[in-house]
Amino acid sequence: MSETEQPRHRGRRSRRRARVRARRALLAGLVVGSLALLSVGWVGFRGWQARTHLLNAAALAQQLSSEVVGADTERAQRTLSALQVQAGAAREATDDPGWWAGQHAPFAGDDLTAVRQIAVAIDDLAREAFPTLLRTDLSTLLPGKGRLDVRRLKAVAAELTATNQVVQRTHARLAAVPGETLVEPVRDAVVELRTQLDQLATLTRAADGAARLLPPLLGAAGPRSYLMVSQNPAELRATGGMFGAYAVIEARDGQLRMGTQGTSAQLGLFDPPLKLKPEIRNLYTDLPGMYPADVNLTPHFPTAAALFRQMYRKRTGETVDGVLAVDPVVLSYLLKVTGPVPVPGHTTLVGDKAVRTLLSDAYQRMDAEEQDQFFAASATAAFDTFFTREVDPRAYLSALDRAITERRVLFWSAHPEEQRVIEANRLAGSLPEKEDVPTVGVFLNDGSGAKLGYYLRPAATLTVGQCRPDGRRELRLRFTLHSTAPQRGLSTSVLGLGLAGDPYTARTLVSVYSPAGGAVLRTRLDGEEVAVGSGTERRRQVVVANVEVRPGATRTVEVDVLTGRNGSASDDAELWLTPTATPWTTHIDSAPHCD
């Protein structure tokens, strides 16, 4: 081959190799493309299967919830079995190499991952959580014939702890799924399941805590005693009402007995006052440390309970293990479950009329001595009924749950290890110094020296406003207070000291608490800027406005507040309110996420 032909030959071979490489690349591309199309088709088919199973599972879960509430155990078992089949099938449909590959693909990867997490969450709950919840005997959590079976409760506690761990693990895993980039149907499904899991996680955490705490609280490891105080919303205090009557509850190995009864007035005045934190003294002067009826001017129940326990010890020499606070509205909820309770020598307590009987009629028709006798007899009769009468445990626990949700039942333990568990629940009445969702507090303290709180009708609207560059968010509170008090005809027991001047005018000291780490910007009363007292408590700025309401009138307070520096991370907010004789009317307007 000549020297001139060699380059030409090498060029032909190079072009052939290039064509071969091109054909191979094209073939490889076709193969990969075909596999990709097959993968997409397969994932789409499996996605259709998963969607069908998940929709079926959602319907079965709603049915199961209804059957559990209705105590239809036999049907609930069948529904649970069907739910486990559908949830398992959804999990299987999202668990193969094709789906795994799809999860790592651009665009659709996040959505496929989210669907997978939904399927896993529902399957875990159906297999590991719901069976235990279904077979748990709720009556174990209630005393029968005045006694709670501590041994049975300990056995249930182990199962409830395991169930709670499953629920909390599932809750945390689903919370980690990023929702911002998901397509709308998947995002809506994630949000809905998160909402349901929030409720379930709260329930199982409370049940787990109750099952572990109740044995020691009820004297399984030694005798216990508690002060049960009745909060009187007719004379408002921040946690619900003035501490009026009290009773000592004694517990030994699950057996409950009511001991000494008395009133906060009988404990007398403490001078010099009990020692208070500077921020409490700044807001409320020395009153919480001087008068048992004023210990709960602060909304932080642990502070109020510890002060009341200390006062009781100083007067009687007896040390109790904790303080339980309830109000007549709680009594009305429970009476609807137990039925009417006769009070020897007095009227029968009936669910729908109990609040009026105790907070209005008693003060209108009885003198002070008769009132004390009636309240003591009512407490004894109600205690005996609640702990001895056979009732539907689900209805009973539902009534208690409603009362706890409204913060009408509060408990503080003097044992730090128990109090740490209680702190995670609304039962603690603890004003948190850190929070994930900004909370605005509206707390009411009577300034009339009267019992006109029964006639007040409060309402509040909280609007989530603009985001700020500094990480804070604006919130707008609109609070109204209406009085239904008559213009004449009330007894001197109701009208009391009449510190507002006109004895029928209700003077209320309204304390507005900013979110943790936040601030209060402006306060207006009926549209006009108003002078307010101010201070701080537990990392919250507090303003206090004097609001006087005549019979039939309505006053409006508007307050602009800022969240803490991490407040813009939430698109929602919460209200924490003083429980009143008539429940509040509330509304919260959320806003888009700041991102």
What confidence tens digit (pLDDT) does each residue in 114-165 have? 777 778 888 888 888 888 878 776 666 666 666 777 777 777 888 888 888 9
Give the type of residue at 223.
P
The Cβ-side half-sphere exposure at 580, using a 13 Å CA radius, reads: 26
pLDDT in the model for residue 436 = 87
What's the confidence (pLDDT) of residue 544?
97
Torsion of CA 236, 239, 240, 242, to 10 degrees: -50
CA distance 9 to 6: 5
Contacts of 465 (CB under 8 A, 6+ apart): 473, 474, 475, 476, 591
- The three-point CA angle 214-216-222 to 5° equals 140
Please say whether the dihedral angle defined by the alpha carbons of residues 182, 187, 193 and 195, taken in this order, is positive or negative.
Answer: positive
Model pLDDT, residue 71: 62
pLDDT recorded at residue 32: 34
- Look at residue 350 in the predicted model and tell me its pLDDT: 96
What letter represents residue 414's amino acid?
A
Residues of the chain with pLDDT under 70: 1-51, 54, 62, 65-71, 96, 98-99, 101-102, 104-108, 137-146, 179-181, 568, 595
Helix axes 328-338, 368-386, angle to 10 degrees: 40
Q: What is the predicted pLDDT for the residue at 132?
A: 82
What is the predicted pLDDT for the residue at 83?
82
- With the C-alpha atoms ordered 481, 455, 294, 249, is the resulting torsion angle positive or negative? negative
Cis before residue 278, ω within 30 degrees of 0? no
Chain Cα centroid distance, residue 500:
35
- The Cα 226–Cα 204 span in angstroms is 26
How far apart CA 440 and CA 577 sit, in angstroms, is: 9
- Whose tokens are 């919130």? That residue is 475
